[in-house]
Structure 1
Amino acid sequence: MDFPFDWDTFKPWLIGLWAVYVPVLAGWIVMQKREPIATLSWVLSLAALPWIGLLVYHFLGPQRIVRQRRRRSLSRRTLEPGLPSDLVTNEDCATVSHLAQTITQFAPSSAVDVKLLVGGKATYAALHEAIASAKHHLHLEYYIFEPDQTGTPLRDALVAKAREGVRVRLLLDALGSARLGRAFLAPLRDAGVEISWFHPVRLRFIWRPRINLRNHRKIVIVDGCVAFTGGINITDDENEAVNPKAFHDLHLRLEGSIVRWLQLAFLEDWHYATGVALRDENLWPEARKGTMLAHALPSGPDSVWESIHRVKVEAIHQADRRVWLVTPYFVPGEAARMALTSAAMRGLDVRVVVPARSDSTLVSAASRSYYDELLAAGIGVFEYQPRMLHSKALLVDDETCVLGSANFDSRSFRLNFELSILLHDRDLAGELEREMTSTLAQCREVKADDPPPPFLRRLADNATRLLSPVL
């Protein structure tokens, strides 16, 4: 039997529904107080594509971030141990450090020993050595943990320590570490290791999606005395010992009072993911105070202030001689671009190092769209040739460094949960300078007079730039 569709009958109803739908959704989005261009983009998308646009907004839009802030704030209030500041001051870094404290509520601290670990091979060796020395507890937090030749030995080391009576807690991002199956995790659970997942992807969260808010942090705490953080995950993709094409990356091993603040960052994440507040006094051993300023910078959608973004921009503004930036993903917002170009126009030595071949085609395309502006301002642009560059470091003048998990893009600055460390020390900065110089020696410098890419590639790069807020 045929059921003829009378468009003229339904047309007034559809127009009426659309006329109600658009102002209601527009009002909802306007009340989010996002950037004008982002707000306008969402309103136009939802108006033009009511069903598709609504689904995209539901899963990727900003409205969920408000709920995450409330839950994260509860975690902090529950766990705040009242850690004192070491009162480490330095006039050259005072403004940046004060900004960091105001935004993060993490006080400036100190380090007595910081080792810059270059590459996964060196990082995993140092990590295994520290884990073997653990007596009381091990806290690990990772975005990616793979069941491969790198992840399996680390799992076995954790199992061995748990069987010795060491309390082992492992917090993993549910999306980044999705390949870990029950069989791989079974030895950990059998040994008593506590495992929790950050923002698990489950059907029961369909009406409260969190797929766009990932935990990109890498933290390891050993007995509250030694900490590791930086950009290196647990995967063969970053281990030169088993993969000749492993990503080039940096990590840090730290001792001193700074470890207490990294411990707090882990405990906040653990409480947020599990609802369990850990209050064991052994988590807070007496810390040695040093002279190197070290400031933990947690950042994520639980704060509107974009702490890592602001600290990096302010550090660039405070620069007197040079700004060297190494990042795998370069998709800067207006504030970051203006800081970099203004520094170059003031006559500073400004260099931006990115991979020639990234693991993200979209991000690489968007990055290339900024080259013309950078070159016109006098910024040196360098593409690392040998393999994927995954290092995330900022060197300002001869003493200030920012290293950690955050890329130089909107996703790291606004959507992901990230952790970086602000460090102020001439020796460490000199070590980072030598590492960056070695990296630069393996780069191709992009020149303003290079032959222009084909038109279609330039069109694709510039079109991809429109996706910068979510790349």
Structure 2
Amino acid sequence: MVARLLLISQAESSIDLQYYIYRGDDTGALIALALMDAADRGVRVRILLDDLATTSKDEGLIALARHPNIQVRSFNPNPSRHFNNLGMLFNFPRLNYRMHNKSLTADNQFSIVGGRNIGNEYFAADETLEFGDLDLWLTGPVVTQVSASFDDYWNAPHVQPISALSDIHVSEEQLAAFTRDIEKARSDMASHPYLSRLINSRMLATLTESHLANDAPGEFYQWYWGIAELWSDPPLKQARPVESHWVVAELWQAMQAVESEFLIISPYFVPTVSGAELLAELSKRGVKVIVVTNSLAATDVLAVHAGYQNYRQQLLEAGVTLYEIKPDLQEPDKSLTGSSKSSLHAKTVVFDRQKLFVGSFNFDPRSALLNTEMGVMVQQPLFAGRYRVCRPLKMVFAALCRCFIQNNVIEV
């Protein structure tokens, strides 16, 4: 959250934000306030959201888009804005395809890409649920690729401005009330305990002490320099055969080239018949194959876990090592918030401790064939080598969280 707020607050010309879920909670409000501040100082703000989780937020989004420097568009929108369920029922074949991408880009110079949506549970601000996740903070030529991908989605034929989707008309009185609500939210947030935690965080202290000026390791951060490439599905992915540049095809090719060790960290893991066969083949030819996923108690999608269970025995018999995250894994005194339930949400793949892929892609059929996905493949052995299972697994989840906090990837 600190990283995102800093990018937004320092942006000078443009901000592009693309997310599957954007909640109207504390973290959503923080980012919205920062985006409006940026727009007020002349920064062009473009917000692209998947429509599935935003249909009920039309009025607020339309009011936000009234700002002359803010544009809001919706991916694959439901034509029925007042009867969402009926719209899903009669348009399910089309509306089943969703945009799962997650990125934030400032000035075409810096991007944050990874697994997080915008919501309290993704940023250690929820009292009942905490998702362990992973992002990459990027600069260099790969940001140009992220920006180009955003433009492809922004201009796709099934992406529409939020104002064109709804018959909601925001009157001047409603706009004034919206402005008052914003100012109240700003006032309330100023004394919010979560904002206080951000202000007093080690991350903010480090980033404001000019450690970004060089690549020397700091007390809290180390910047990794290497080659990075964006893998992104096309916005018109639905109902088409798999193509070589799709994320699933790029990952499949990279998996086949693994020589010694292959690590998958995926909250929703349903490898399918062909995927399970490939993992078994890798294991049988001597590759150490490790999968870290959620246990039944930790998952937030029971149906996905049911699909994963069908492959567990086959993978174990083939020599694949499986680890499952428990919801109470972290010790209470080490938890970031004291949450009653922790869940894995990071989507990360490590190839031979040489290359690391981080993005929105889950190892399940929906990510492969239905949702659009994106992620970044980084060639950086020092960074990739940090992600390994070499300790008792009860520490892996906490280690994953620490690695997110302490490490960033920069590509030049």
Q: Same fold (TM over 0.5)?
A: yes
Please say if 1:230 is aligned against 2:169. Answer: no
* Contact 1:145 1:180 survives alignment (8 Å): no
* Contact 2:114 2:358 survives alignment (8 Å): yes
Q: 1:234 to 1:439 in 2, by over 3 A?
A: farther
TM-superposed deviation, 1:207: 6.2
* Amino acid aligned to 1:382: Y
SS in 2 for 1:135: coil
Distance 2:241 2:313 in 1: 31
Distance 2:256 2:265 in 1: 17
Corresponding residue to 2:268 among 312, 329, 350: 329
Q: 1:180 to 1:416 in 2, by over 3 A?
A: same
Corresponding residue to 1:294 among 228, 249, 253: 228
1:59-70 to 2 correspondence within 5 Å? none
Corresponding residue to 2:301 among 360, 367, 372: 360
Q: 2:258: which partner in 1?
A: 319
Q: 1:438 to 1:125 in 2, by over 3 A?
A: farther
Q: 1:349: which partner in 2?
A: 288
Unaligned runs of 5+ residues in structure 1 are 1-123, 277-289, 445-471
Moved more, 361-370 or 332-341: 332-341
Moved more, 376-385 or 208-217: 208-217
Distance 1:163 1:245 in 2: 34
Corresponding residue to 1:304 among 214, 217, 241: 241
Distance 2:46 2:281 in 1: 45
Q: 2:374: which partner in 1?
A: 419
TM-superposed deviation, 1:294: 1.4
Q: 1:267 to 1:438 in 2, by over 3 A?
A: farther
> May I ask how many residue pairs the two structures share in their alignment?
306
Please say if 1:394 is aligned against 2:342. Answer: no
Q: 1:208 to 1:176 in 2, by over 3 A?
A: closer
Distance 1:325 1:343 in 2: 13
Q: 1:468: which partner in 2?
A: none
For the aligned residues, what is the CA RMSD?
A: 2.5
Q: 1:161: which partner in 2?
A: 38
* Amino acid aligned to 2:105: I
1:39-438 to 2 correspondence within 5 Å? 124-183=1-60, 186-187=63-64, 189-190=66-67, 192-203=69-80, 206=90, 210-243=94-127, 245-272=129-156, 273-274=158-159, 292-299=226-233, 301=237, 304-305=241-242, 307-356=246-295, 357-386=298-327, 387-433=342-388
TM-superposed deviation, 1:339: 1.7
TM-score (norm 1): 0.61
Q: 2:193: which partner in 1?
A: none
* Contact 1:138 1:221 survives alignment (8 Å): yes
Q: Render the CA deviation track for 1:58-106: whole Å, top value 9, x for unaligned.
A: xxxxxxxxxxxxxxxxxxxxxxxxxxxxxxxxxxxxxxxxxxxxxxxxx
Q: 1:275 to 1:155 in 2, by over 3 A?
A: closer
TM-superposed deviation, 1:358: 1.0
SS in 2 for 1:194: strand
TM-superposed deviation, 1:238: 1.1
TM-superposed deviation, 1:351: 0.8
TM-superposed deviation, 1:342: 0.9
Q: Which has the higher contact order (CA 8 A, sep 6+)?
A: 2
* Contact 2:48 2:75 survives alignment (8 Å): yes
Q: 1:361 to 1:275 in 2, by over 3 A?
A: closer
Q: Render the CA deviation track for 1:399-444: whole Å, top value 9, x for unaligned.
A: 11111001001110111010011111112202334xx667933479
* Contact 1:221 1:228 survives alignment (8 Å): yes
Distance 2:136 2:22 in 1: 18
Distance 1:217 1:438 in 2: 32
Q: 1:385 to 1:439 in 2, by over 3 A?
A: farther
TM-superposed deviation, 1:241: 3.6
SS in 2 for 1:370: helix
* Contact 1:132 1:161 survives alignment (8 Å): yes
Q: 1:244 to 1:438 in 2, by over 3 A?
A: farther
* Contact 2:52 2:78 survives alignment (8 Å): yes
Unaligned runs of 5+ residues in structure 2 are 82-86, 162-223, 328-341, 398-412
TM-superposed deviation, 1:242: 3.9
Q: 1:373 to 1:151 in 2, by over 3 A?
A: same
* Contact 1:146 1:180 survives alignment (8 Å): no
* Contact 2:12 2:43 survives alignment (8 Å): yes
SS in 2 for 1:309: helix
* Amino acid aligned to 2:370: L
Moved more, 267-276 or 191-200: 267-276
* Amino acid aligned to 1:240: A
